[in-house]
A = this chain, B = another copy of it.
Amino acid sequence: MNLKLRLGILGGGGNSLIGVLHRIAANMHDKYTITGGVFGTDWQKNIDFANKIGVHNNRVYKDFDAFIERELKLPTTERIQVVAILTPNFLHFPMAKKLIENGFHVICEKPMTTTFSEAKILHKLVKDVKTIFAVTYTYTGYPMVRQMREMILNGTIGKVQKVDAQYYQGWINPIIHDKSKRSTTWRLNPDKSGISCCIGDIGTHAFDMLEYVSGLKIEAILADLNYLYKDNKMDIDGTVLLRCTNNVKGVICASQIATGEENSFVVKVYGDKAGLKWEQENPNYLYLMKEGEPLQVLKPGHNYNTELSLNGTKLPPGHPEGIFDAMGNIYNGVAKAINKEPYNKGEFPTIIDGIRGMNFIEKTVSSHEKGNVWVPIETQE
């Protein structure tokens, strides 16, 4: 019974979608027991929800401080080992900071913090304390994204010469054109969401994904953001020109006013030998375009898949897995890291992904405000 990691959860109670995603992911590989947490601010709802998901009353806490205080008093053989932070964004930083300082491993939802300076503090702390710290850029958990990464790193497409990510959603459209809605939505309130809406929410996914699959670093950006209305304080659309290592150029197009789009995230990387393309809404297909050869469509679970990709597939070819499985793969990787088992560097996004994402968000807004000029992204290590 000791093989499973004791997982604490902060937030994610009630009808929280992100809560469902993390719970299913945590259970998927039989490596975590959801042991305790704070699932909401209302005590009775907190307890009821905990019971519903099978958490004992004595490990339900009224707030984060109580969580820390009481768990630290438990013997290490019983104490929660890793904590998933699913709260509103502005709480990520103080919670993560205190958890790391007290030796907990952390699985943190993105964006990791609300500012780059907070991210830098966490980064330093993790380097010092050496806990495991994962940031859930969920899409990197898909088997065919992992396949794409490893094929590029293995040279299948040759030297990368162009990167392109397009992340189009339409959900803000019915909000943005209604003055009362746009002034009251928390996603468009800088106090609650940080300085960017579209880039902060989905542009960062594109940024992280391009670096993840290409192995390149994005070194400078020029951004053009779109607010649609003067009284709207947050970007809801933007295009970002990219300069990467090796002088590779690229582009990120992101929008939340691409009316009618659901969650259309498309990633393309072209090398001097071939190109690769992946689409989030059909995540089990990876398109390999080799010059003068038939288009190849790679799918999960085959002998031709890379090891990292195969690790993320549980059923035989033709049995489509989905986004829960992508998050499950990330949880699986984090478990390996905590258990000091061997694991592949690509199994979960780390504090580096988190801090680079925050840097990207701030620089994007800065580039736009300065009149669409080039600004550098800092190196992290």
Contacts and interface: CB of A to CB of B under 8 A. Distances in A.
A265 to B, nearest CB: 9
Interface stretch (A65-73, A183-191, A314-322, A356-364): A314-322
A255 B222 CA distance: 19
A275 B258 contact: yes
Contact of A319 (B224, B228, B255, B323): B323
Interface string A155-199: 001100110101011110110010000000000000000000000
Given A24-B28, A33-B54, A164 B322 contact: no
A263 interface: yes
B222 A372 contact: yes
Interface in A228-283: 228, 237, 239, 241, 249, 251, 253, 255, 257-264, 268, 270-275, 280-283
A35 to B, nearest CB: 12
Contacts of A257: 161-162, 270
Contacts of A237: 162, 249
Contact of A51 (B3, B275, B282, B321): B3
A19 to B, nearest CB: 10
Given A259-B157, A261-B275, A170 B224 contact: no
Contacts of A320: 280-283, 320, 322-323
B299 A170 contact: no
Contact of A259 (B17, B273, B282, B319): B273
Kindly state the interface size class of chain A when it binds its partner. Answer: 35 or more
A260 B253 contact: no
Interface in A322-344: 322-325
Interface of A: 1, 3-4, 17, 20-21, 23-24, 27-28, 30, 33, 51-54, 56, 157-158, 161-162, 164, 166, 168-171, 173-174, 177, 222, 224, 226, 228, 237, 239, 241, 249, 251, 253, 255, 257-264, 268, 270-275, 280-283, 288-299, 302-304, 314-325, 372, 374
Nearest to A249: B226
Contact of A161 (B164, B228, B296): B228
B314 A20 contact: yes
Nearest to A303: B292
29 contacts: A17-B315, A24-B28, A24-B314, A30-B52, A30-B53, A162-B237, A164-B258, A173-B272, A174-B291, A222-B372, A224-B249, A239-B249, A251-B251, A255-B270, A258-B268, A259-B289, A259-B290, A260-B274, A260-B289, A260-B290, A260-B291, A262-B317, A263-B316, A281-B318, A294-B298, A294-B299, A295-B297, A320-B322, A372-B372
Contacts of A251: 239, 251, 253
A21 to B, nearest CB: 7
